[in-house]
């Protein structure tokens, strides 16, 4: 394992478990890059919607991915998602794109395309990768793996508070349960903890407390930081 350039840390878990806040804060504490891999699936979903490609049209998705350039650029300490050179960061958080991202993420052609993109981003290490299959599939040799969980009601309430009044709590919970179902039951790279992941339940802990716990685990498993 090449630790010269820093560690590769993965954080997987279902929607609304607090992965984004925790991953971002953990990366900041370590001085590492934060990579939100869900944004990549959202970027592909946006491109598909714009091209009128249905999420189950594998040929269409293959053609789309073939010509797609997708990645991040750092601007003023913020990570922006670029799709074919266009900054689409502010367009990928709608309920429609959430659902389409979940649907296209079940297609092997999309996962294979993004596997290379993600591994390329991880080649320099010193990064915290947030996603669903980071520790299990994309980076099986990651230095420290976490699986962040929380119960459905808590996750739905957190997402509802983030969205403001854009949807009812019931609708948010229903959408979340459906996405959990899609993400957990898809044939390829389903949402599941890697066997060597450290599981943390955030239902009753603040993001700060979870980050402290993770730093402790990182210190004790690697002797670093």
Give the integer Cα–Cα distance in Å for 70 and 77.
19
We find the least distance from the C-beta atom of residue 102 to ligand DC, in angstroms, to be 3
Give the integer Cα–Cα distance in Å for 217 and 123.
23
Q: Give SS3 for 19.
A: helix
Q: What separation in angstroms does the CA of 102 have from each of 4, 20, 166? A: 36, 17, 20
**C-beta closer to ligand DC: residue 95 or 153:** 95
We find the least distance from the C-beta atom of residue 115 to ligand DC, in angstroms, to be 10
We find the least distance from the C-beta atom of residue 132 to ligand DC, in angstroms, to be 4
Read off the tokens for 45: 């979903």
**C-beta closer to ligand DC: residue 99 or 222:** 99
We find the least distance from the C-beta atom of residue 223 to ligand DC, in angstroms, to be 28
Give the integer Cα–Cα distance in Å for 56 and 80.
27
**Which residues are at the interface with ligand DC (CB under 6 A)?**
15, 37-38, 41-42, 101-102, 105, 131-134, 179, 183
**C-beta closer to ligand DC: residue 109 or 224:** 109
**C-beta closer to ligand DC: residue 60 or 190:** 190
């Amino acid at each position: 394992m090449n630790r010269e350039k820093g560690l590769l840390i993965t954080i997987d878990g279902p929607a609304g478990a607090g992965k984004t806040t925790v991953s971002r804060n953990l990366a900041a504490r370590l001085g590492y890059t934060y990579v939100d891999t869900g944004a990549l699936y959202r970027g592909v979903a946006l491109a598909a919607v714009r091209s009128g490609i249905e999420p189950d049209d594998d040929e269409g998705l293959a053609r789309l991915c073939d010509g797609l350039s997708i990645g991040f650029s750092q601007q003023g300490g913020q990570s922006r998602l670029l799709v074919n050179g266009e900054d689409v960061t502010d367009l990928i958080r709608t309920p429609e794109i959430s659902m389409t991202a979940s649907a296209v993420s079940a297609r092997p052609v999309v996962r294979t395309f993004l596997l290379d993109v993600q591994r390329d981003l991880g080649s320099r290490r010193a990064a915290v990768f947030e996603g669903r299959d980071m520790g299990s599939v994309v980076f099986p040799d990651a230095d420290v793996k976490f699986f962040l969980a929380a119960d459905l009601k808590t996750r739905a309430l957190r997402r509802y508070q983030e969205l403001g009044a854009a949807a009812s709590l019931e609708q948010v919970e229903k959408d979340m349960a459906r996405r959990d179902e899609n993400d957990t039951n898809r044939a390829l790279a389903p949402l599941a903890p890697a066997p060597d992941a450290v599981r943390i339940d955030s239902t009753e802990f603040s993001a700060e407390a979870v980050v402290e716990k993770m730093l402790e685990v990182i210190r004790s498993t690697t002797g670093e930081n």
